[in-house]
Amino acid sequence: MDADFWHNKWENKHIGFHQAEVNDALREHLTTLNLAPGSRVFVPLCGKSLDMHWLLAQGHGVIGVELSPIAVTELFEELGVTPKIRQCGELNCYQYEDLTVYQGDFFALTAADLGPIDAVYDRAALVALPESLRTQYTDHLMTLTQMAPQLLLTFEYDQELVQGPPFSVRADEVARHYDAAYHLRELLREDIPGGMRGLAAAQDVVWYLQPLTQEV
């Protein structure tokens, strides 16, 4: 899986991963992060998610990173705004008021580019990556955000029955990536009606990752 895989998805409108509504888990569990008004929330591999619209409406600053220029363009078009665009290292930076999206390779984004982050909302990033990239992703994410608190959404199912993405990321793998830096709390685990593409029983899992530097 490489960049062309995702570029082709957007070019050919094969974007079944894009939800037509705000994610219920975000609505229900954002308060767990205990964010102050105006907090800066980072959304990795953000696509054109409506979740970003909702976070903005809650009064937060939203910072995303997305590979596809098509996704970024459509995000701002659907918000009905015209961003300012500038070069930022190896990435293009699109900005309008409290929304900033870096278009390009996630791994080219630096902490200096990103600035201070109060929380991470990972709905579709970790599960979008093959196992071979997930450690590199989680290490870079923690470096970028100075181990900010996270709301993490994953799927669990029999990976032998269904080819990802989205990939199955089980609890032991979440712990392997994150338990050296975070307290891990499972907020929700529920069956997905119809399973994963009707081929395998599957569950949605919502995690709260609280930095070990914070009191439990």
Write out pLDDT tens, residues 3-24: 777 667 666 665 566 567 999 9
CA distance 132 to 115: 28
List the chain residues with pLDDT less than 50.
none
Q: What is the pLDDT of residue 10?
A: 63
User: Helices marked H in 80-179 — which ranges?
Assistant: 111-114, 131-145, 171-178
188 annotated as ligand-binding: no
Q: What is the pLDDT of residue 4?
A: 73
CB atoms within 10 A of CB 24: 12
10 annotated as ligand-binding: yes
CA distance 173 to 133: 13
- In the block, tokens 């608190």 appear at 149
Query: What are the residue boundaries of the structural domains of the chain, listed by start?
Result: 3-11+23-30+37-211
pLDDT one-digit tens code per residue, 161-195: 999 899 999 999 999 999 999 999 999 999 999 99
Instruction: Let me know: does 52 contact 74? Beta carbons within 8 Å.
Output: no
Q: Please give the CATH architecture assigned to the domain spanning 3-11+23-30+37-211.
A: 3-Layer(aba) Sandwich (3.40)
66 annotated as ligand-binding: yes
170 annotated as ligand-binding: no
